[in-house]
Amino acid sequence: MSLLHLAIISPLLLAIFIPIFYKNFRQIHTGWFILPLPILLFSYFISFISITTSQRTITETINWIPSLGINFTARIDGLGLLFALLITGIGALVVLYSIYYLNKDKEKLNTFYIYLLLFMGAMLGVVLSDNLIVMYAFWELTSFSSFLLIGYWYHREKSRYGAQKSMIITVFGGLAMLGGIILLYLMTGTFNISEMIPQSSEILNHPFFIPALLCVLLGAFTKSAQFPFHIWLPDAMEAPTPVSAYLHSATMVKAGIYLVARLSPVFAESPVWLWLVAGFGIVTLFWGSFSAVKQTDLKSILAFSTVSQLGLIMSLLGVGAAALHFTTMDDSFYTVATTAAVFHLINHATFKGSLFMVVGIVDHETGTRDIRKLGGLMNFMPITFTLAIIGAFSMAGLPPFNGFLSKEMFFTGMIRILEMDIFNLDTWGILFPILAWVASIFTFIYSMVLVFKTFTGKYQPEKLEKKPHEAPVGMLISPIILASLVIIFGFFPDLLSHSLISPAMAAILPSLLGSADEFIVHITFWHGFSIELFMTLGVIAIGALLYTTLPKWRSVYGLFPEKLALNRFYDNGLEFAQRGSMKVTKAYMNGFIRTYLVYIFSFFIVILGTTLISKDAFKLDTSNVSTIGFYEVLLALLIVVASVTILFAKSRLTSIILLGAVGYTVALFFVVFRAPDLALTQLVIETVSVALFLLCFYHLPKLKKEESRLHFKLVNALISVGVGGIVTAIALSAHSNKLRESIAQYYIENTYDKAAGKNMVNVILVDFRGFDTLFEICVLAIAALGIFAMIKLRLTRRKEE
C-alpha cells in the first residue's frame, strides 16, 4: 500500500482506536487524540503543491477487481489537491473548535469523532479516486456518515428528521449517479476518469451521452443542494455546529461541485451541460438568497446562504464550459468564470466556516440562535462581533475581503455571457447577469441581518437562557484563523493563483491548456471603474435601502402559498409512500408462513417455467449419463419413502427422526459417489440439526388429533409438484445443455500447482472460490452478532411522569 492510499484511509483506521482511547482516557477530551491526524494530512498534501504547479500528477494503484476494471487508483492533480487541502485544513480547525464546543462530560465523544473521521476519510476518497466505482463507494459513505453526524443528537425529533431527509435525497441522487457511471463505462470501456477524458469526442456522439449526463448531474445536484433538491440542507442544521461548519462549508456540499468540475472535461462540450449546470446554479443562487432573508434562526440563515453560494459556484462552472468552444480569445476572457469558481470555492470555505463557528459561539454563550431574542451582543462579545463582521461582509461581497474579489469575477463571468453567440446565450443569456445581480442584493441583506440583528440593537437579557460573555480562547482560535485568511486573500489576491487556482483549472479545462506550462491566472484588487464595480455599488445601495426597510416589505414572503412549498411536497410524498407501502405490505403479509411460501413458490414456478418454455431451453440428453446402480436406486427409494412418511407422522418426534433419515441417506449418497469429505460434513450438519430440532420441539405441546390428521389441499399439492417438476427440468436441461467443457478438469490440473493443496474441495472453497466463502462467513458473523445482541438486549419501560 502506498503512502497516498494510507493517507486516504488513515481517518478510517484511526476511528477503530477511538473507543479504546475514550474508554481508558476519560479525563482527556477525545478531540486531542484526533487533532494530530488532520494536521499531519494537511502537511502531507501541501508537499504535493510543487508537483501540481508543474502540471504533473501522482497516480498510485492497488488492484482490487482488475477483471472488471475496478481498482483503487488514487490520483492527485490540481483539483484533487485543492479539495484535499480544504478537507484536512478545515477539518483540523473544526476538530480544534469541537474540543471547546462539546462538553466531554455530557456528550458521547467517541461516537461523534468516529462519525467525523468516517466522513473525513470518505471525502478524501471521493476527491482522490480516479476510478468512478471506488469514488461512488466513498460517495455513499459520505451520505452514510453525514446521516450519522446530522442525527448525532438522535433524541431530538428534528435531528432524526433532518438526518433521514439528507439520507433519502442524497442516496437517491447517488443511485442515479451510479447509473451514469455504468453508462460511461459502456461508452468508454473504462471506469477511470483519466482514461475517459481523451474519449470525450466519441462520448459526445454516443446515444447514451444524454442519459449519462442527466444521471451524473442528478447525483451532483442532490449532494450540493441545488434547487429543488436543496430542501435537505436547512434541516441538516440540527447537527452540532462543528458538524455544520465542516459539512456545509468545505466538504459534503462541495462534493457535488467537485463532481461537476471533475467530469467537465467529459461532458462540458455539450450545450445541455452548459444550460443545466449554469441554469440550475443561477436559480439556486437566487432562491437560496431570497429564502435566507426571511429566516429567524442564525443557522437557518447560514443554511440558505450556503445554498445560494453553492448555486453561485455551480453557475460559474456551467458558464465556464462555454470556454471549450472558443479557441481564439485570450485566456482572461474565456476562463474567467472557471477561475472565479475555483477562487470562490476557497473563499467560501474560509468565510462560511468562520461564520458557522461564530454562530456556534453565540448559541453556546447565550443559549439561543433566534435573532428575535438576540441583539446588543457587541459589548459582551467584541471579538466574536469582529469575526462576524469579517465573515458576513466577505459573504456580501464587500471590500477589502476575499469575497469581494470572487464576487466581482462572478459578475464578469455573467456579463461575458452576453458576448457569446453560441447555444442562444446572446439572447436568453441576459437572464444570468440579471438574476446574479438581484441575488447579490439579497445576499447583502441576509449578511447584514446576520450581523446587525445579532450584535447591535436592543439587548434583551430576559429572553436569553444565559448571560452572554466572550467565548473561551480555544473556541476562538479556529474562526480567527479563518477570518485572517479572509483578510489575507483579500489584500493579497494573487497569493493562490499559481499554487492552487491554476493547477485546478488545468484539471477542469485540460483541453484548453494545450502545450502551455500553466493557465495564466492574475487576480488584482482594483480593476478600475468597470461595470462590475457599478453593479457592486448598486448592490450596496439597494441592499442597504431594503435592509433598513425590511419590516415594511418582509410580508411579501407571506404571499407564497404554503401548499406549494417544496418541503410540503417532500413530506406529503414521503407520507404517501409510507401509507402506500403499508397497504401493499398488509395485503400480502398476513402472518401465515404458508401464504408467504405460496407467493414465493408460485413466482418461482411461473418465472422459471415461462423462461424454459419461451427460450425453448428444456432438453433431455442421456448420452453422457452414467449407469444407475442398485444402491443408488435403493437410497433414492429410501429418501422418497422417508419424505412421504413425514406427512403421515402422528408426532413431532417421529417427523424429526424421519427428516434426519432423509439427511443421513443423502450422506450415504456422497459415500457411494466417493466423496467422503462431503459425507462427513453432511453427517455432522445433520446430527447437529436433528439435535437442535429435538431441543426446540421438546418444549412444544403434543400434537392434537386434528393437527396430526393429513388434510389434502389442492394448492399445496400443485405447488409442490410444480416446484419439484421445475427444479428437475432445470437440472436435466443444465446437464443436457453444456455450452462449455466442464471446469472439473481445470481443478484437477491446477489444484496442487496453483494452490499447493491436495484436497480439491478445500482448495476450491478457500482459494478458487475464496470470496464466496469469505462472504458466507461474513453473513454468518453478522447473523451471530444480531442473535447475540437480541439475547443481550434488555428492554425497560420508562416510568410515565
Please indicate, yes or no, if residue 36 is contained in any of the structural domains.
Answer: no
From CA 266, how far away is CA 272, in angstroms rounded?
13
780 alpha-carbon distance from chain centroid: 27
User: 684 is in which domain, residue-wise?
Assistant: 591-741
| CA pseudo-torsion sign 231, 235, 241, 244 | negative
Predicted pLDDT of residue 426: 66
Q: CA 494, CA 492: separation in Å to the nearest integer?
A: 6
Q: Which amino acid is at 252?
A: M
The verdict on 411 and 320 lying in the same domain is yes
Using DSSP's 3-state secondary structure scheme, residue 73 falls into strand
Residue 414 lies in a domain: yes
The per-residue pLDDT for 622 is: 73
Shared-domain flag, residues 446 and 321:
yes
In a domain, 362, yes or no: yes
Instruction: Verify that 414 and 314 share a domain, yes or no.
Output: yes
Sign of CA dihedral 568, 571, 577, 581: negative
Q: Are residues 722 and 760 in the same domain?
A: no
Give residue 430's pLDDT: 84
In angstroms, the CA 418 to CA 409 distance is 15
In a domain, 118, yes or no: no
Name which of 289, 493, 479 is nearest 404 in CA terms.
Answer: 493
Backbone angles phi, psi at 737, to 5 degrees: -110, 55
pLDDT at res. 332: 46
Number of domains composing the chain: 3
Range list of H helices, 293-381: 298-320, 331-334, 336-366
Query: Does one domain contain both 735 and 768?
Result: no
**What are 739-758's pLDDT values in tens digits?**
777 788 888 888 888 878 87
**Would the pTM count as exceeding 0.85?**
no
Q: Is the residue at 206 inside a domain? A: no
Last residue of a domain, one of 546, 563, 583: 583
> Does residue 666 share a domain with residue 622?
yes
The answer on 470 and 391 residing in a single domain is yes
CATH number of the domain where residue 628 is located = 1.20.120
By the 10 Å C-beta count (0-12 exposed, 13-18 middle, 19+ buried), 618 is classed as middle
Instruction: Identify whether the C-beta of residue 651 lies closer than 8 Å to the C-beta of residue 767.
Output: no
Q: Is 289 exposed, middle or buried (0-12, 13-18, 19+ CB in 10 A)?
A: buried
Question: Are 736 and 747 members of one domain?
Answer: no
- Which residues neighbour 780 within 8 Å (Cβ) at sequence distance 6 or greater? none
Distance of alpha carbon 610 from alpha carbon 89, whole angstroms: 60
Buried b (16+ CB within 10 A) or exposed e, 41-76: bbebbeebbebbbebebbebbeeeeeeebbbbbbbb
Q: What count of other Cβ atoms lies within 10 Å of the Cβ of residue 737?
A: 11
Residues 573 and 640 in one domain: no
Domain endpoint, select from 521, 552, 583: 583
- Domain final position from 703, 718, 741: 741
Cell of 372: 428575535
Query: Cell 477562487 appears where?
Result: 343
What is d(CA 357, CA 101) in angstroms, rounded to the nearest whole number?
9
Residues 626 and 559 in one domain: no
Nearest CA to 323 out of 511, 535, 563 is that of 511
d(CA 387, CA 393): 10
Kindly give the parts of the chain with pLDDT less than 50: 328-332, 708, 796-801
Distances (CA, A) of 156 to 73, 86, 161, 503, 694: 40, 31, 9, 44, 47
**Cα dist from 570 to 161, 167, 365, 576, whole Å:** 12, 13, 35, 10
One domain, residues 408 and 482: yes
Q: Which residues contact 236 (CB under 8 A, 6 or more apart)?
A: 146, 150, 162, 163, 165, 166, 244, 247, 248, 303
In a domain, 55, yes or no: no
Tally Cβ neighbours within 10 Å of residue 325.
Answer: 15
Element (H, E) at 599: helix 593-614
Asked if 315 and 343 sit in the same domain, the reply is yes
pLDDT value of residue 408: 92
| Proportion of the chain in helix, strand, coil states, percent, rounded to 5 | 75, 0, 25
Ranges assigned E (strand) in 85-145:
none
Within a domain: residue 526? yes
Q: Is residue 720 part of a domain?
A: yes
Distance separating alpha carbons of residues 521 and 501, to the nearest angstrom = 8
Residue with cell 483519466: 194
